[in-house]
Structure 1
Amino acid sequence: MKAIAVTQFGGPESLQVLDLPVPDAGPGEIRIKVVAATVNPVDTMVRRGLAFVDDAEPPYVPGMEAAGTVDQIGEGTITDLSVGDRAIAIAVTSGTHGAYAEYLVVPADSVVRAPEGASDVEAATLPMNGLTARMALDLLELPADGTVAVVGAAGAVGGYAVQLAKVEGFRVIADAAPADVQLVKELGADVVVPRGDDFANLVRTQVPDGVDGLVDTAGVAASVTRAVRDGGRVVSSAPGADLATERGIVTERTFVPSYAREHVKLDRLRQLAEEGGITLRVARPLPPEQAAAAHRLLEEGGLRGRVVLTF
Protein backbone atom coordinates (compact mmCIF):
# COMPACT_ATOMS: atom_id res chain seq x y z
CA MET A 1 0.00 0.00 0.00
CA LYS A 2 0.98 3.61 -0.52
CA ALA A 3 1.78 5.43 2.71
CA ILE A 4 3.26 8.79 3.66
CA ALA A 5 5.97 8.43 6.29
CA VAL A 6 9.23 9.70 7.69
CA THR A 7 12.36 7.64 8.16
CA GLN A 8 14.32 10.59 9.55
CA PHE A 9 12.77 13.37 11.61
CA GLY A 10 12.75 16.85 10.18
CA GLY A 11 10.81 19.44 8.24
CA PRO A 12 7.97 18.87 5.79
CA GLU A 13 10.46 17.72 3.17
CA SER A 14 11.17 14.62 5.29
CA LEU A 15 7.73 13.21 4.39
CA GLN A 16 8.00 10.64 1.63
CA VAL A 17 5.84 8.16 -0.26
CA LEU A 18 6.63 4.57 0.75
CA ASP A 19 5.30 1.17 -0.26
CA LEU A 20 4.38 -0.70 2.93
CA PRO A 21 2.66 -4.05 3.57
CA VAL A 22 -1.12 -3.98 3.84
CA PRO A 23 -2.07 -4.71 7.50
CA ASP A 24 -4.64 -7.38 8.33
CA ALA A 25 -7.51 -6.90 10.76
CA GLY A 26 -7.25 -9.24 13.73
CA PRO A 27 -9.89 -10.16 16.30
CA GLY A 28 -11.78 -7.07 17.44
CA GLU A 29 -10.38 -4.96 14.61
CA ILE A 30 -11.59 -3.37 11.39
CA ARG A 31 -9.57 -2.42 8.32
CA ILE A 32 -10.48 0.79 6.54
CA LYS A 33 -9.64 1.49 2.91
CA VAL A 34 -8.70 5.11 3.43
CA VAL A 35 -10.12 7.74 1.11
CA ALA A 36 -9.25 10.80 3.19
CA ALA A 37 -6.87 11.48 6.10
CA THR A 38 -6.83 14.78 7.97
CA VAL A 39 -3.62 16.73 8.56
CA ASN A 40 -3.44 17.89 12.19
CA PRO A 41 -0.86 19.66 14.37
CA VAL A 42 0.03 16.40 16.14
CA ASP A 43 1.11 14.99 12.77
CA THR A 44 3.82 17.63 12.53
CA MET A 45 5.02 16.54 15.97
CA VAL A 46 5.29 12.93 14.76
CA ARG A 47 7.23 14.18 11.75
CA ARG A 48 9.67 16.00 14.05
CA GLY A 49 10.00 13.08 16.49
CA LEU A 50 8.17 14.83 19.32
CA ALA A 51 5.13 12.55 19.73
CA PHE A 52 4.09 8.89 19.37
CA VAL A 53 7.51 7.60 18.35
CA ASP A 54 9.08 6.36 21.60
CA ASP A 55 8.13 2.68 21.40
CA ALA A 56 8.27 2.11 17.66
CA GLU A 57 10.84 1.72 14.90
CA PRO A 58 10.85 3.79 11.70
CA PRO A 59 9.27 4.40 9.31
CA TYR A 60 6.68 6.54 11.09
CA VAL A 61 3.29 7.10 9.43
CA PRO A 62 1.44 10.13 10.85
CA GLY A 63 -2.31 10.62 10.90
CA MET A 64 -4.91 10.17 13.63
CA GLU A 65 -8.21 10.40 11.75
CA ALA A 66 -9.53 9.02 8.50
CA ALA A 67 -12.60 8.31 6.43
CA GLY A 68 -13.15 5.59 3.87
CA THR A 69 -14.84 2.22 3.49
CA VAL A 70 -14.78 -0.89 5.64
CA ASP A 71 -12.49 -3.31 3.80
CA GLN A 72 -12.01 -6.17 6.27
CA ILE A 73 -13.51 -7.20 9.61
CA GLY A 74 -11.39 -9.31 11.94
CA GLU A 75 -12.57 -12.70 13.13
CA GLY A 76 -15.01 -12.50 16.03
CA THR A 77 -15.30 -8.71 15.85
CA ILE A 78 -18.57 -7.33 17.18
CA THR A 79 -19.74 -4.43 15.00
CA ASP A 80 -22.81 -3.14 13.22
CA LEU A 81 -20.65 -2.34 10.19
CA SER A 82 -20.27 -4.48 7.08
CA VAL A 83 -17.61 -4.62 4.39
CA GLY A 84 -18.29 -1.78 1.97
CA ASP A 85 -19.86 0.57 4.51
CA ARG A 86 -18.58 4.13 4.65
CA ALA A 87 -16.87 4.78 7.96
CA ILE A 88 -14.73 7.18 9.98
CA ALA A 89 -12.02 6.19 12.44
CA ILE A 90 -9.60 7.58 14.99
CA ALA A 91 -6.13 6.06 15.10
CA VAL A 92 -3.46 6.17 17.81
CA THR A 93 -0.33 6.42 15.71
CA SER A 94 2.58 4.06 16.32
CA GLY A 95 5.28 3.24 13.80
CA THR A 96 3.61 2.39 10.50
CA HIS A 97 0.17 2.52 12.12
CA GLY A 98 -1.17 5.89 11.02
CA ALA A 99 -3.90 7.32 8.82
CA TYR A 100 -1.64 8.63 6.04
CA ALA A 101 -1.96 5.30 4.24
CA GLU A 102 -4.24 3.49 1.83
CA TYR A 103 -5.26 1.00 4.55
CA LEU A 104 -5.70 1.49 8.29
CA VAL A 105 -6.50 -1.13 10.94
CA VAL A 106 -8.12 0.06 14.17
CA PRO A 107 -10.11 -1.43 17.06
CA ALA A 108 -13.81 -1.75 16.26
CA ASP A 109 -14.57 0.71 19.07
CA SER A 110 -12.62 3.38 17.15
CA VAL A 111 -14.85 3.16 14.06
CA VAL A 112 -18.37 4.41 13.35
CA ARG A 113 -20.41 5.02 10.24
CA ALA A 114 -19.55 8.13 8.26
CA PRO A 115 -22.09 10.95 8.65
CA GLU A 116 -24.74 10.80 5.95
CA GLY A 117 -24.61 13.79 3.64
CA ALA A 118 -20.90 14.41 4.26
CA SER A 119 -18.14 13.63 1.79
CA ASP A 120 -15.22 11.47 2.89
CA VAL A 121 -13.00 14.56 2.90
CA GLU A 122 -15.39 16.35 5.24
CA ALA A 123 -16.02 13.30 7.42
CA ALA A 124 -12.29 12.73 7.96
CA THR A 125 -12.08 15.94 10.00
CA LEU A 126 -14.46 14.68 12.68
CA PRO A 127 -13.05 11.76 14.74
CA MET A 128 -9.90 13.08 16.40
CA ASN A 129 -10.73 16.78 16.39
CA GLY A 130 -14.29 16.11 17.53
CA LEU A 131 -13.24 13.78 20.32
CA THR A 132 -10.64 16.30 21.51
CA ALA A 133 -13.36 18.93 21.87
CA ARG A 134 -15.64 16.36 23.51
CA MET A 135 -12.97 15.46 26.04
CA ALA A 136 -12.28 19.11 26.82
CA LEU A 137 -15.92 19.75 27.67
CA ASP A 138 -16.16 16.54 29.69
CA LEU A 139 -13.15 17.59 31.77
CA LEU A 140 -14.70 21.01 32.47
CA GLU A 141 -17.66 19.40 34.28
CA LEU A 142 -19.76 22.51 33.68
CA PRO A 143 -22.92 23.10 35.71
CA ALA A 144 -26.23 22.79 33.86
CA ASP A 145 -26.53 26.55 33.38
CA GLY A 146 -22.80 27.09 32.97
CA THR A 147 -20.81 29.56 30.91
CA VAL A 148 -17.70 28.50 29.00
CA ALA A 149 -15.02 30.57 27.29
CA VAL A 150 -13.28 29.19 24.20
CA VAL A 151 -9.89 30.48 23.05
CA GLY A 152 -9.02 29.66 19.45
CA ALA A 153 -12.69 29.33 18.55
CA ALA A 154 -12.16 29.67 14.80
CA GLY A 155 -9.88 26.63 14.68
CA ALA A 156 -10.94 23.02 14.15
CA VAL A 157 -11.03 21.91 17.81
CA GLY A 158 -12.19 25.32 19.02
CA GLY A 159 -15.07 25.38 16.57
CA TYR A 160 -16.24 21.94 17.64
CA ALA A 161 -15.97 23.01 21.29
CA VAL A 162 -18.22 26.02 20.65
CA GLN A 163 -20.81 23.93 18.84
CA LEU A 164 -20.81 21.05 21.31
CA ALA A 165 -21.19 23.50 24.20
CA LYS A 166 -24.18 25.11 22.50
CA VAL A 167 -25.79 21.72 21.81
CA GLU A 168 -25.61 21.07 25.54
CA GLY A 169 -27.18 24.41 26.44
CA PHE A 170 -24.16 26.29 27.78
CA ARG A 171 -23.50 29.99 27.25
CA VAL A 172 -20.37 30.47 25.14
CA ILE A 173 -17.99 33.43 25.06
CA ALA A 174 -15.41 33.01 22.31
CA ASP A 175 -12.51 34.92 20.79
CA ALA A 176 -12.02 35.81 17.14
CA ALA A 177 -9.76 37.86 14.91
CA PRO A 178 -11.66 40.52 12.93
CA ALA A 179 -11.84 38.28 9.85
CA ASP A 180 -13.31 35.41 11.89
CA VAL A 181 -16.01 37.21 13.89
CA GLN A 182 -18.83 36.21 11.56
CA LEU A 183 -17.61 32.60 11.41
CA VAL A 184 -17.50 32.27 15.20
CA LYS A 185 -20.96 33.82 15.49
CA GLU A 186 -22.26 31.32 12.94
CA LEU A 187 -20.74 28.49 14.99
CA GLY A 188 -23.06 29.61 17.77
CA ALA A 189 -21.02 31.70 20.21
CA ASP A 190 -23.28 33.92 22.32
CA VAL A 191 -20.60 36.58 22.72
CA VAL A 192 -17.55 37.12 20.52
CA VAL A 193 -14.68 39.24 21.85
CA PRO A 194 -11.46 40.27 20.07
CA ARG A 195 -8.64 37.78 20.05
CA GLY A 196 -5.58 38.93 21.96
CA ASP A 197 -3.99 39.85 25.27
CA ASP A 198 -7.11 41.56 26.64
CA PHE A 199 -9.28 38.43 26.34
CA ALA A 200 -9.61 37.74 30.07
CA ASN A 201 -10.58 41.35 30.86
CA LEU A 202 -13.17 41.35 28.08
CA VAL A 203 -14.68 38.13 29.38
CA ARG A 204 -14.92 39.65 32.84
CA THR A 205 -16.90 42.57 31.43
CA GLN A 206 -19.47 39.98 30.27
CA VAL A 207 -19.28 37.75 33.36
CA PRO A 208 -17.94 39.79 36.29
CA ASP A 209 -17.39 36.76 38.54
CA GLY A 210 -15.69 34.79 35.75
CA VAL A 211 -16.81 31.89 33.56
CA ASP A 212 -17.24 28.37 34.93
CA GLY A 213 -14.75 26.86 32.51
CA LEU A 214 -12.37 27.69 29.70
CA VAL A 215 -11.20 25.65 26.70
CA ASP A 216 -7.78 26.72 25.42
CA THR A 217 -6.86 25.48 21.94
CA ALA A 218 -4.25 28.18 21.29
CA GLY A 219 -1.70 27.39 23.99
CA VAL A 220 -2.34 30.56 26.00
CA ALA A 221 -4.09 29.08 29.04
CA ALA A 222 -1.86 30.73 31.65
CA SER A 223 -2.48 34.21 30.26
CA VAL A 224 -6.29 33.88 30.18
CA THR A 225 -6.96 32.05 33.45
CA ARG A 226 -8.20 35.30 34.98
CA ALA A 227 -11.34 34.86 32.85
CA VAL A 228 -12.33 31.88 35.04
CA ARG A 229 -14.14 32.16 38.38
CA ASP A 230 -12.61 30.97 41.63
CA GLY A 231 -12.79 27.18 41.74
CA GLY A 232 -13.53 26.90 38.00
CA ARG A 233 -11.73 24.79 35.44
CA VAL A 234 -9.31 25.31 32.54
CA VAL A 235 -8.65 22.63 29.93
CA SER A 236 -6.00 23.02 27.23
CA SER A 237 -5.71 20.96 24.07
CA ALA A 238 -2.44 22.67 23.09
CA PRO A 239 0.68 20.56 23.80
CA GLY A 240 3.13 22.29 26.11
CA ALA A 241 0.80 25.11 27.11
CA ASP A 242 1.56 26.61 30.52
CA LEU A 243 -1.29 26.09 32.97
CA ALA A 244 -1.58 28.61 35.79
CA THR A 245 -2.73 27.36 39.20
CA GLU A 246 -4.53 30.01 41.20
CA ARG A 247 -7.71 30.66 43.16
CA GLY A 248 -8.55 26.97 43.42
CA ILE A 249 -8.89 26.63 39.63
CA VAL A 250 -8.47 23.06 38.35
CA THR A 251 -6.30 22.75 35.24
CA GLU A 252 -6.30 19.78 32.87
CA ARG A 253 -4.96 18.75 29.46
CA THR A 254 -6.73 16.72 26.83
CA PHE A 255 -5.06 13.50 25.69
CA VAL A 256 -7.26 12.20 22.91
CA PRO A 257 -5.72 8.69 22.71
CA SER A 258 -7.55 8.00 25.98
CA TYR A 259 -10.80 8.67 24.07
CA ALA A 260 -9.84 6.63 21.02
CA ARG A 261 -12.19 3.79 22.02
CA GLU A 262 -15.08 5.96 23.21
CA HIS A 263 -17.39 4.47 20.58
CA VAL A 264 -20.60 5.98 21.95
CA LYS A 265 -19.11 9.48 22.05
CA LEU A 266 -17.74 9.14 18.51
CA ASP A 267 -21.08 7.94 17.21
CA ARG A 268 -22.80 10.88 18.90
CA LEU A 269 -20.47 13.20 17.00
CA ARG A 270 -21.49 11.43 13.80
CA GLN A 271 -25.15 11.99 14.68
CA LEU A 272 -24.60 15.68 15.42
CA ALA A 273 -22.82 16.13 12.09
CA GLU A 274 -25.83 14.61 10.33
CA GLU A 275 -28.23 16.86 12.24
CA GLY A 276 -26.23 20.03 11.64
CA GLY A 277 -25.28 20.43 15.30
CA ILE A 278 -21.61 20.52 14.35
CA THR A 279 -20.01 21.72 11.13
CA LEU A 280 -17.34 19.81 9.19
CA ARG A 281 -14.85 22.31 7.78
CA VAL A 282 -12.25 21.60 5.11
CA ALA A 283 -9.58 24.14 4.18
CA ARG A 284 -8.18 22.23 1.22
CA PRO A 285 -7.89 18.66 -0.09
CA LEU A 286 -4.51 17.56 -1.45
CA PRO A 287 -3.14 14.30 -2.88
CA PRO A 288 -0.78 12.36 -0.58
CA GLU A 289 2.20 13.21 -2.79
CA GLN A 290 1.70 16.82 -1.60
CA ALA A 291 1.84 15.94 2.10
CA ALA A 292 4.85 18.23 2.55
CA ALA A 293 2.83 21.13 1.14
CA ALA A 294 -0.05 20.21 3.46
CA HIS A 295 2.25 20.39 6.49
CA ARG A 296 3.62 23.73 5.34
CA LEU A 297 0.12 25.14 4.99
CA LEU A 298 -0.75 23.95 8.49
CA GLU A 299 2.40 25.37 10.05
CA GLU A 300 1.94 28.74 8.33
CA GLY A 301 -1.31 29.09 10.28
CA GLY A 302 -4.46 30.97 9.45
CA LEU A 303 -6.37 27.96 8.10
CA ARG A 304 -10.09 27.77 8.80
CA GLY A 305 -10.77 24.06 8.61
CA ARG A 306 -8.31 21.26 7.98
CA VAL A 307 -6.15 20.23 5.05
CA VAL A 308 -7.06 16.67 4.07
CA LEU A 309 -4.99 14.14 2.13
CA THR A 310 -7.06 12.23 -0.43
CA PHE A 311 -6.07 8.69 -1.39
Structure 2
Amino acid sequence: MTLPHPAPPAPFGRALCAMVTPFTDGGALDLDGARRLATRLVDGGCDGLVLSGTTGESPTTSDAEKSALVRAVAEAVGDRAHIVAGIGTSDTRHTVELALAAEKAGADGLLVVSPYYSRPPQDAVEAHFREIADAAGVPVLLYDIPGRTGTRIEPETLLRLAEHPRIVGVKDCAYDILGSTKVIARSDLAYYTGCEEYALPLYALGGAGYISTVANAAPGPMRAILDAYDRGDPAEARLAQQRATPLIELMMASGLPGTVTAKALLTSLGLPGGPVRAPLRAAGREAGEELRAAYEALAGARSAH
Protein backbone atom coordinates (compact mmCIF):
# COMPACT_ATOMS: atom_id res chain seq x y z
CA MET A 1 0.00 0.00 0.00
CA THR A 2 1.33 3.44 -0.96
CA LEU A 3 1.13 5.92 1.88
CA PRO A 4 0.26 9.61 1.34
CA HIS A 5 3.14 12.07 1.22
CA PRO A 6 3.68 13.53 4.72
CA ALA A 7 3.21 17.27 4.49
CA PRO A 8 6.47 19.25 4.82
CA PRO A 9 6.50 22.75 6.28
CA ALA A 10 4.64 25.02 3.84
CA PRO A 11 4.06 28.46 5.39
CA PHE A 12 2.56 29.90 2.21
CA GLY A 13 0.87 26.79 0.88
CA ARG A 14 2.36 24.41 -1.68
CA ALA A 15 1.37 25.73 -5.12
CA LEU A 16 2.51 29.33 -5.63
CA CYS A 17 2.56 31.39 -8.80
CA ALA A 18 5.30 33.88 -9.58
CA MET A 19 2.75 36.28 -11.01
CA VAL A 20 3.45 38.63 -13.88
CA THR A 21 2.78 42.31 -13.33
CA PRO A 22 0.08 43.30 -15.83
CA PHE A 23 0.58 46.51 -17.77
CA THR A 24 -1.75 48.44 -20.05
CA ASP A 25 -1.00 48.74 -23.75
CA GLY A 26 0.60 52.07 -22.91
CA GLY A 27 2.90 50.48 -20.35
CA ALA A 28 1.21 51.70 -17.15
CA LEU A 29 0.46 49.45 -14.20
CA ASP A 30 -2.83 47.62 -14.84
CA LEU A 31 -4.32 47.11 -11.39
CA ASP A 32 -7.67 45.91 -12.70
CA GLY A 33 -5.85 43.32 -14.80
CA ALA A 34 -3.80 42.29 -11.77
CA ARG A 35 -6.98 41.73 -9.75
CA ARG A 36 -8.55 39.64 -12.52
CA LEU A 37 -5.41 37.56 -13.07
CA ALA A 38 -4.92 36.99 -9.34
CA THR A 39 -8.51 35.83 -8.96
CA ARG A 40 -8.14 33.42 -11.89
CA LEU A 41 -4.94 31.98 -10.44
CA VAL A 42 -6.44 31.38 -7.02
CA ASP A 43 -9.58 29.89 -8.59
CA GLY A 44 -7.24 27.66 -10.62
CA GLY A 45 -5.56 26.17 -7.57
CA CYS A 46 -2.81 28.56 -6.44
CA ASP A 47 -2.32 28.68 -2.68
CA GLY A 48 -0.19 31.79 -2.92
CA LEU A 49 0.92 34.57 -5.25
CA VAL A 50 4.43 35.97 -5.36
CA LEU A 51 4.40 39.57 -6.60
CA SER A 52 7.26 41.71 -7.90
CA GLY A 53 9.72 38.89 -8.29
CA THR A 54 11.78 38.12 -11.39
CA THR A 55 8.65 37.25 -13.37
CA GLY A 56 6.94 40.35 -11.99
CA GLU A 57 9.56 42.65 -13.59
CA SER A 58 10.64 44.10 -10.27
CA PRO A 59 13.71 45.87 -11.72
CA THR A 60 11.45 48.10 -13.85
CA THR A 61 8.60 48.86 -11.43
CA SER A 62 8.71 51.72 -8.96
CA ASP A 63 8.39 51.40 -5.20
CA ALA A 64 4.93 52.99 -5.40
CA GLU A 65 3.85 50.53 -8.10
CA LYS A 66 5.05 47.59 -5.98
CA SER A 67 2.95 48.72 -3.02
CA ALA A 68 -0.09 49.43 -5.19
CA LEU A 69 0.16 45.94 -6.69
CA VAL A 70 0.21 44.28 -3.26
CA ARG A 71 -2.83 46.28 -2.14
CA ALA A 72 -4.82 45.47 -5.29
CA VAL A 73 -4.09 41.75 -5.24
CA ALA A 74 -4.70 41.46 -1.50
CA GLU A 75 -8.08 43.14 -1.97
CA ALA A 76 -8.93 40.78 -4.84
CA VAL A 77 -8.11 37.45 -3.19
CA GLY A 78 -8.67 38.26 0.47
CA ASP A 79 -7.79 35.35 2.74
CA ARG A 80 -8.08 32.77 -0.04
CA ALA A 81 -4.35 32.93 -0.83
CA HIS A 82 -1.06 34.04 0.68
CA ILE A 83 0.51 37.18 -0.79
CA VAL A 84 4.31 37.20 -0.85
CA ALA A 85 5.96 40.44 -1.97
CA GLY A 86 9.31 40.50 -3.72
CA ILE A 87 11.38 43.23 -2.10
CA GLY A 88 14.96 42.31 -2.96
CA THR A 89 17.43 44.93 -4.12
CA SER A 90 21.21 45.28 -4.04
CA ASP A 91 20.88 47.94 -1.30
CA THR A 92 20.16 46.76 2.25
CA ARG A 93 18.60 50.06 3.37
CA HIS A 94 16.31 50.19 0.34
CA THR A 95 15.30 46.57 0.84
CA VAL A 96 14.29 47.29 4.45
CA GLU A 97 12.18 50.22 3.23
CA LEU A 98 10.45 47.97 0.69
CA ALA A 99 9.87 45.31 3.36
CA LEU A 100 8.06 47.76 5.60
CA ALA A 101 6.03 49.17 2.70
CA ALA A 102 4.98 45.70 1.50
CA GLU A 103 3.88 44.70 4.99
CA LYS A 104 1.87 47.90 5.32
CA ALA A 105 0.23 47.24 1.93
CA GLY A 106 -0.99 43.82 3.07
CA ALA A 107 1.70 41.26 2.21
CA ASP A 108 1.68 38.04 4.23
CA GLY A 109 5.35 37.38 3.54
CA LEU A 110 8.46 38.72 1.85
CA LEU A 111 10.72 37.27 -0.85
CA VAL A 112 14.26 38.61 -0.50
CA VAL A 113 16.88 37.91 -3.15
CA SER A 114 20.59 37.93 -2.34
CA PRO A 115 22.25 41.25 -3.17
CA TYR A 116 23.21 41.33 -6.82
CA TYR A 117 26.06 42.84 -8.83
CA SER A 118 28.19 43.80 -5.81
CA ARG A 119 28.72 40.10 -5.02
CA PRO A 120 29.21 40.38 -1.24
CA PRO A 121 30.94 37.55 0.65
CA GLN A 122 28.88 35.12 2.70
CA ASP A 123 29.16 36.95 6.00
CA ALA A 124 27.81 40.10 4.33
CA VAL A 125 25.04 38.14 2.62
CA GLU A 126 24.04 36.72 5.99
CA ALA A 127 24.10 40.15 7.65
CA HIS A 128 21.95 41.57 4.82
CA PHE A 129 19.24 38.97 5.35
CA ARG A 130 19.35 39.26 9.13
CA GLU A 131 18.89 43.04 9.01
CA ILE A 132 15.82 42.67 6.79
CA ALA A 133 14.32 39.87 8.88
CA ASP A 134 14.94 41.88 12.06
CA ALA A 135 13.02 44.81 10.59
CA ALA A 136 10.13 42.78 9.16
CA GLY A 137 7.00 41.77 11.00
CA VAL A 138 6.02 38.98 8.58
CA PRO A 139 7.79 35.75 7.50
CA VAL A 140 10.67 35.91 5.04
CA LEU A 141 11.62 33.64 2.13
CA LEU A 142 15.22 33.81 0.92
CA TYR A 143 15.64 33.76 -2.86
CA ASP A 144 18.71 31.80 -3.97
CA ILE A 145 19.27 32.39 -7.69
CA PRO A 146 23.01 32.77 -8.28
CA GLY A 147 22.63 32.65 -12.06
CA ARG A 148 21.04 36.11 -11.87
CA THR A 149 22.62 37.62 -8.77
CA GLY A 150 26.18 36.31 -9.13
CA THR A 151 26.15 35.26 -5.46
CA ARG A 152 25.09 31.92 -4.02
CA ILE A 153 23.52 31.63 -0.58
CA GLU A 154 25.71 28.75 0.50
CA PRO A 155 24.10 25.83 2.37
CA GLU A 156 26.01 26.60 5.57
CA THR A 157 24.82 30.21 5.41
CA LEU A 158 21.24 29.01 4.95
CA LEU A 159 21.55 26.74 7.98
CA ARG A 160 22.68 29.65 10.13
CA LEU A 161 19.90 31.87 8.81
CA ALA A 162 17.35 29.14 9.55
CA GLU A 163 17.81 29.95 13.22
CA HIS A 164 16.16 33.37 12.72
CA PRO A 165 12.51 33.19 13.83
CA ARG A 166 11.18 35.08 10.80
CA ILE A 167 13.24 33.34 8.11
CA VAL A 168 10.95 30.45 7.21
CA GLY A 169 11.99 29.21 3.79
CA VAL A 170 13.84 29.40 0.49
CA LYS A 171 12.90 29.92 -3.13
CA ASP A 172 15.45 27.59 -4.64
CA CYS A 173 16.88 28.35 -8.09
CA ALA A 174 20.45 27.23 -7.32
CA TYR A 175 20.30 24.03 -9.40
CA ASP A 176 22.09 22.19 -6.60
CA ILE A 177 19.88 19.29 -5.58
CA LEU A 178 22.55 17.96 -3.22
CA GLY A 179 22.88 21.26 -1.37
CA SER A 180 19.12 21.67 -1.18
CA THR A 181 18.66 18.17 0.20
CA LYS A 182 21.26 18.80 2.89
CA VAL A 183 19.53 21.98 4.08
CA ILE A 184 16.08 20.34 4.02
CA ALA A 185 17.41 17.47 6.13
CA ARG A 186 19.13 19.71 8.68
CA SER A 187 16.62 22.54 9.11
CA ASP A 188 12.94 23.44 9.19
CA LEU A 189 13.23 25.75 6.19
CA ALA A 190 10.41 25.34 3.67
CA TYR A 191 11.98 24.76 0.26
CA TYR A 192 10.02 26.02 -2.76
CA THR A 193 11.59 25.24 -6.11
CA GLY A 194 11.58 28.10 -8.59
CA CYS A 195 12.52 25.68 -11.38
CA GLU A 196 9.44 23.84 -12.63
CA GLU A 197 11.40 20.80 -13.80
CA TYR A 198 12.22 20.21 -10.11
CA ALA A 199 8.60 20.43 -8.94
CA LEU A 200 8.30 16.70 -8.32
CA PRO A 201 11.95 15.83 -7.54
CA LEU A 202 12.34 18.46 -4.82
CA TYR A 203 8.90 17.75 -3.39
CA ALA A 204 9.74 14.07 -3.12
CA LEU A 205 12.88 15.01 -1.18
CA GLY A 206 10.91 17.01 1.38
CA GLY A 207 10.37 20.32 -0.38
CA ALA A 208 7.34 22.49 0.36
CA GLY A 209 6.19 22.95 -3.24
CA TYR A 210 6.95 25.42 -6.01
CA ILE A 211 6.89 29.08 -7.00
CA SER A 212 6.10 28.80 -10.69
CA THR A 213 6.15 31.14 -13.68
CA VAL A 214 4.42 28.49 -15.80
CA ALA A 215 1.49 28.59 -13.37
CA ASN A 216 0.52 32.02 -14.74
CA ALA A 217 -1.03 30.19 -17.68
CA ALA A 218 -1.32 26.63 -16.36
CA PRO A 219 -2.03 26.64 -12.61
CA GLY A 220 -4.05 23.43 -12.73
CA PRO A 221 -1.51 21.20 -14.51
CA MET A 222 1.26 22.39 -12.21
CA ARG A 223 -0.77 21.73 -9.06
CA ALA A 224 -1.71 18.29 -10.37
CA ILE A 225 1.89 17.17 -9.88
CA LEU A 226 1.81 17.82 -6.14
CA ASP A 227 -1.78 16.66 -5.69
CA ALA A 228 -1.01 13.25 -7.20
CA TYR A 229 2.02 12.79 -4.98
CA ASP A 230 0.03 13.81 -1.91
CA ARG A 231 -2.60 11.20 -2.78
CA GLY A 232 0.09 8.54 -2.62
CA ASP A 233 0.23 8.10 -6.41
CA PRO A 234 3.84 8.78 -7.45
CA ALA A 235 3.27 7.22 -10.88
CA GLU A 236 0.53 9.76 -11.67
CA ALA A 237 2.69 12.55 -10.26
CA ARG A 238 5.47 11.50 -12.61
CA LEU A 239 3.07 11.52 -15.57
CA ALA A 240 1.78 14.95 -14.60
CA GLN A 241 5.35 16.27 -14.47
CA GLN A 242 6.11 14.71 -17.85
CA ARG A 243 2.94 16.11 -19.44
CA ALA A 244 3.92 19.62 -18.31
CA THR A 245 7.52 19.34 -19.52
CA PRO A 246 7.05 20.59 -23.13
CA LEU A 247 5.37 23.79 -21.90
CA ILE A 248 7.93 24.18 -19.11
CA GLU A 249 10.75 23.89 -21.62
CA LEU A 250 9.25 26.42 -24.03
CA MET A 251 8.48 28.93 -21.30
CA MET A 252 11.64 28.58 -19.22
CA ALA A 253 14.41 27.16 -21.43
CA SER A 254 13.83 28.48 -24.92
CA GLY A 255 16.22 31.42 -24.72
CA LEU A 256 13.51 33.90 -23.76
CA PRO A 257 12.92 35.14 -20.20
CA GLY A 258 9.97 33.57 -18.41
CA THR A 259 8.33 36.97 -18.10
CA VAL A 260 8.33 37.32 -21.88
CA THR A 261 6.93 33.85 -22.55
CA ALA A 262 4.34 34.09 -19.78
CA LYS A 263 3.00 37.41 -21.06
CA ALA A 264 2.97 36.15 -24.64
CA LEU A 265 0.91 33.14 -23.65
CA LEU A 266 -1.44 35.11 -21.41
CA THR A 267 -2.06 37.59 -24.25
CA SER A 268 -2.75 34.70 -26.63
CA LEU A 269 -5.33 33.37 -24.17
CA GLY A 270 -7.00 36.76 -23.79
CA LEU A 271 -5.85 37.09 -20.18
CA PRO A 272 -4.30 40.10 -18.40
CA GLY A 273 -0.58 40.55 -18.88
CA GLY A 274 0.07 43.20 -21.45
CA PRO A 275 3.49 44.24 -22.72
CA VAL A 276 6.85 43.84 -21.01
CA ARG A 277 8.93 46.84 -20.05
CA ALA A 278 12.27 47.59 -21.67
CA PRO A 279 14.90 46.28 -21.80
CA LEU A 280 12.75 43.16 -22.22
CA ARG A 281 11.09 42.77 -25.61
CA ALA A 282 7.95 40.92 -26.63
CA ALA A 283 8.15 37.39 -27.98
CA GLY A 284 7.96 37.02 -31.74
CA ARG A 285 4.98 35.55 -33.55
CA GLU A 286 6.57 32.13 -34.05
CA ALA A 287 7.42 31.81 -30.36
CA GLY A 288 3.90 32.85 -29.45
CA GLU A 289 2.39 30.21 -31.70
CA GLU A 290 4.64 27.50 -30.26
CA LEU A 291 3.67 28.47 -26.72
CA ARG A 292 -0.05 28.37 -27.54
CA ALA A 293 0.32 24.96 -29.22
CA ALA A 294 2.17 23.53 -26.19
CA TYR A 295 -0.45 24.98 -23.84
CA GLU A 296 -3.31 23.45 -25.85
CA ALA A 297 -1.53 20.09 -26.02
CA LEU A 298 -1.13 20.09 -22.24
CA ALA A 299 -4.78 21.04 -21.73
CA GLY A 300 -5.86 18.33 -24.14
CA ALA A 301 -3.69 15.65 -22.53
CA ARG A 302 -4.98 16.54 -19.10
CA SER A 303 -8.61 16.45 -20.28
CA ALA A 304 -8.09 13.10 -21.99
CA HIS A 305 -6.53 11.67 -18.87
* TM-score, normalisation: structure 2: 0.29
Q: Which has the higher helix share?
A: 2
* TM-score, normalisation: structure 1: 0.29
